[in-house]
Amino acid sequence: MGSSKAAARLMLERFEKIKSDRSQWHSHWQDLKDLVRPHTSGVDRKITKGERLTRNIYDGTATWALNQFAAALHAFLTSPTSRWFTLSVQGVPAERLDLQARAWLEMVSDIIYTEYSNPNVHFNSNLNECYLDIGAFGTCSLYQAWNQEKKCLKFRAFPLSDTYILENDCGEVDTVIRSVCWSTRQVMQFLNGLPMPPKFKQTVDRDKQRDKQWTILHMVFPRKDRDFLNFMSVNKPYASVWAIHDTKEILKESGYDEMAYHTPRWTKLAGEVYGRSPAMSCLPEIKMVNAMMKTTIKAAQKIVDPPLQVPNDGFMLPLKTDPGSLVFHEPGIDRVEPLLTNGNIPIGIEMMEQSRDQIMKAFFIDLIFRQKKKERQTTTEIVDDREEMLRQMSPMLGRLQGELLGPMLRRSYRLLARAGRIPVAPPSLQGASLDVTYISPAARAQEGIKVNDIQVYLNDIAAIAQFSPEVVDVINTDVAAGEIARLRAVTPKILRDQEEVSGIREGRAQQEEALQGAQQGKLVAGAVKDLSVADKNRRSI
């Protein structure tokens, strides 16, 4: 416990350095916030309540593309309408598990997915916020804990502007610092009767300001030295320390059994901690099309409502330009004429379309919304097109599975298990290490090639078998059927285990043997009858 407090104090002292190291991203993130993801917290400039957040946006292409990108990730990776994962046993194929083990894994997978669908958990809404941050900034922060009051999981996405992360020697995020601004009243509510730190108490007693604002840090990091036989919260694998940055004092210390913050990156350059996003790759085009749209709007206004050329004298100012208004001038004075600018709006629109196409490609919109072919397509062709699109996105989706979905599912399982929501595992799974298998459309797309290869091979063998039936003997049909079911993520509920299959085959073999015996008996009886009739005829002669 002393070690974690010392680490927390050291981190408090280092926070300004950590904050300074992240500042090189701030101008980049602020541009993305202003032009791509306006409805989130500011970085360099904090927004005020009720502020209009879209005043700098003249073209909404990037904002629209980001929303479509986030919706596609949600649908292809973590669909709210169908379960996108299943639990498995590490290193053991599903077909080698008994029926009871497979049923338990399926049941636990359904329990976790049903928990995610609980409206009190706020899973889908917060996950969508994460996908928006991933598309705009390349990094997001999702917090997962247990709601003791409602007896369920709880998720909350926090703005990247308030989140600071550190990596371990393996390039994994193992330390998260979240900054939040609280009033004196909120700090005292959080302490809930716990003793106030001395400097904080001294300031509160002196100023008597319950609305004074404080910078509070929530620091989560691994405990290096701990007593493995001590299960107190202050001795858990991950330390959870709340501290006041202003006074460098610790408010409260506890811990987590697993990392409570999930912070995936879309792509990451070597040596960098924070991720890079699709929006970053097309930020020049976003700025360009935004500036061009602003200029085009001004040019269109000049054409629709052009400036006027007026002689130096002879008119009563101000000029009335409303419909039906009268303009008076002295006799002999030239009339008022519009100033024609000869602006070329079509070429501006053409250049903007080129920039918009680049933005669409950066957000994979050209893959997400495949242009429909003029000729009619079969269902298989449509599925193949979608799987091809998902395979092109597979490197980035794989990082999300490794840094977001995997840790999130493992923590969800353990939180539910500690709450008594997970049933006891069958004897065959006692002591086994569980793993996660993804069965989302994105995951199945990666396996689609293997299924197609098996089906093509079987079709080729079927064609050869018409001339040489013995060629079928090279195929283990049971293995082929099981492999296709696994790659297609078919639920084990509809599959029989090997013992049941063997029993059915033995029964079928017995029935066939009995049928053959009956047929042979009929043949023998017929032959005896024929011999009897022949013998009778011979005697009568």
| pLDDT, tens digit (0-9, with 9 covering 90-100), for 429-443 | 988 899 998 887 766
In this prediction, residue 236 carries a pLDDT of 87
Please, what sign has the CA dihedral across residues 110, 113, 117, 118?
positive
At 419, list the tokens.
């709450």
Mean pLDDT of the chain: 82
pTM for this model (two decimals): 0.78
At 130, list the tokens.
């994460």
Q: Which of 257, 234, 230 minimizes the C-alpha distance to 8? A: 234
The pLDDT confidence band at residue 341, using thresholds 50, 70 and 90, is low
On the CB side of 53, CA atoms within 13 Å amount to 20
In this prediction, residue 315 carries a pLDDT of 61
In this prediction, residue 4 carries a pLDDT of 63
Cα–Cα separations (whole angstroms), residue 480 to 97, 102, 154, 291, 453? 17, 19, 42, 58, 11
Q: Which of 181, 233, 257, 248 minimizes the C-alpha distance to 11? A: 248
Does residue 362 carry a pLDDT above 80? yes
Which secondary-structure segment (H or E) carries 403?
none
In the chain, what's the furthest Cα-to-Cα distance?
151
C-alpha–C-alpha distance, residues 411 and 466, integer Å: 54
Which residue has 């991720």 as its token pair?
275
On the CB side of 525, CA atoms within 13 Å amount to 6
Give strand pairing partners of 180: 216
Does residue 452 carry a pLDDT above 60? yes
Q: Which of 362, 292, 398, 365 minimizes the C-alpha distance to 32? A: 362
Q: Which of 57, 27, 65, 140 minimizes the C-alpha distance to 362? A: 65
In this prediction, residue 214 carries a pLDDT of 92
Average pLDDT over residues 506-525: 73
Give strand pairing partners of 250: 243
C-alpha–C-alpha distance, residues 198 and 185, integer Å: 16
C-alpha–C-alpha distance, residues 41 and 38, integer Å: 8
C-alpha–C-alpha distance, residues 195 and 44, integer Å: 35
Q: Three-state SS for 226?
A: coil
Rounded to 10 deg, the angle between the 99-117 and 123-137 helix axes is 80
Which secondary-structure segment (H or E) carries 326?
none
The pLDDT confidence band at residue 192, using thresholds 50, 70 and 90, is confident
Q: Which of 227, 165, 178, 168 minimizes the C-alpha distance to 3? A: 227
On the CB side of 217, CA atoms within 13 Å amount to 27
What is the tens place of the pLDDT at every residue in 219-265?
A: 999 987 554 444 455 678 999 999 999 888 899 989 999 999 999 99
Asked which of 9-18, 286-295, 322-331, 389-398 is least confident by mean pLDDT, the reply is: 322-331
Q: Are 256 and 176 in contact (CB under 8 A)?
A: no
In this prediction, residue 227 carries a pLDDT of 46
The secondary structure of 408-444 as a DSSP string is HHHHHHHHHHHTT-SPPPPGGGTTPPEEEEE-SHHHH
Does residue 92 carry a pLDDT above 50? yes
Q: Are 83 and 493 in contact (CB under 8 A)?
A: no
pLDDT: which is higher, 42 or 193: 193
On the CB side of 494, CA atoms within 13 Å amount to 7
The pLDDT confidence band at residue 1, using thresholds 50, 70 and 90, is very low
Does residue 37 carry a pLDDT above 80? yes
In this prediction, residue 209 carries a pLDDT of 80
Which secondary-structure segment (H or E) carries 472?
none
In this prediction, residue 478 carries a pLDDT of 74
